[in-house]
Amino acid sequence: MPACLGAWRALLVLLLAVAAGGVHAEGAPRGPEGFRNNYPHEGKGSLWAWQWERLRKGLPEAPEGGWPIPAQKTDPALLRTPDNNPSVTWIGHATMLVRLGGKTMLFDPVFTQRASPLSFAGPRRIVPLPITIAELPKIDLVMVSHNHYDHLDADTVQQLAAHPQGSPRFLVPQGLKAWFAALGITPLDEYDWWQETAEDGLRITFVPVQHWSRRRLDDTNATLWGGWVVDGAGLRMIHTGDTGYSQDFKDIGARLGPFDMAFIPIGAYAPRWFMKVMHVNVPEAVQIRTDLRAERAIGMHWGTFENLTDEPMDEPPKLLAQRRRELGLSTDQFDVLRIGETRRLERVRP
């Protein structure tokens, strides 16, 4: 076969594979309106229709005495002892502190009282912070999934950058570097989907999820979103950020799995007609664990900020327990933490 004919045939095979969904280009797709998700999905519903609906129905309605969210104070000394490495501590919502391979890292750090651009309005923290920034050990890495206010807070990252023990290295999605640089924050690197970096034996990969971004009325999808995979010291884990359900998790599982631990959102899912595209519910979260080929998972993104969405704030772990029973899963396979709780991480994948 002539070389040119063979090359054309190879190109045709590649194009057909891409059309069939069998091969994915590196990096996030982008169009005139900014970054896009990998897979087709329904459009987002009307924000104003949702706000009007929740106003009419009085949602979410807190019980008398407030929401019973399990919480405890985090022991700062526990985060410094070598015996407690590797481990994870849930600070609340999507903020996870992980110790692995001699490094201490924070995912989606928000240490403010509100997930909002305003200090006096917006979703309010209903459980006190279990630990302050001043009490934290030296943070080596900060990984940000996207720019929504419940995942990225300006005051928090500025305090972390000014920590007496030194600034962490910040890893952020593509397009966010300028925002951090405007705050005077370095060292700083930004990443596209599937891009990798290393930190003293840890391999870190930014991976695709189905979501969107915005911090102002005029910057919708101008910056990327995603999850973070960390592999090293004998453990492989993923923080999925904020996400709707998509084929992306099967792609991640096939390419980078299996995982010892996955941090997966289980809250902020109601009403489904509005939230489905951007936030998974509990059954979808359990399916994500399967898609990722994760031996264990911990549910996050619940029980922290009031009035983010419409479901009862203590409902997600109840639904997770019900789903575990239906599928015959153990608490080890998919569990939740108390806000402030520290738990050892172990290698459990084959």
Task: Specify the pLDDT at position 128.
Answer: 95
**Domain membership flag for residue 202:** yes
Q: How far is CA 311 from the centre of its chain?
A: 20
CA distances to 244, 258, 265, 304 from 346, in Å: 28, 14, 21, 26
Whether residue 197 is contained in a domain is answered as yes
Pairing of strands 261-265, 235-239: parallel
Q: Is residue 269 part of a domain?
A: yes
Where residue 277 sits, what CATH number does that domain have? 3.60.15.10
Q: How far apart are CA 64 and CA 308, in angstroms?
A: 19
pTM score of the predicted model: 0.91
Dihedral of alpha carbons 194, 211, 344, 100, sign: positive
195 within a domain of the structure (yes/no): yes
Contact 245, 288 (CB under 8 A): yes
Question: Which pLDDT value is given to residue 106?
Answer: 98
Structural domains of the chain, count: 1
Listing DSSP states for 188-244 in one string gives EEEE-TT-EEEETTEEEEEE--B----SSTT-TTSS---EEEEEETTEEEEE--S-B
pLDDT of residue 65: 86
Mean pLDDT by 10 residues, the chain (350 residues): 41 37 67 95 87 84 90 95 91 98 97 93 94 97 98 98 95 97 94 97 98 95 98 97 98 98 98 96 98 98 96 97 98 98 95
Distance CA 310, CA 59 (A): 6
Domain that includes residue 185, residue range: 71-344
Predicted pLDDT of residue 25: 53
In a domain, 61, yes or no: no
| Residue 19 placed within a domain | no
Q: Which structure tokens are listed for 132?
A: 């302050």
**Is 317 a member of any domain?**
yes
Q: How far is CA 205 from CA 71, 76, 115, 178, 234, in A?
A: 31, 29, 26, 21, 16
In a domain, 134, yes or no: yes
Q: Which positions ≥6 away from 125 have C-beta within 8 Å? A: 92, 112, 113, 114, 115, 304, 305, 306
206 and 191 Cβ atoms separated by less than 8 Å: yes
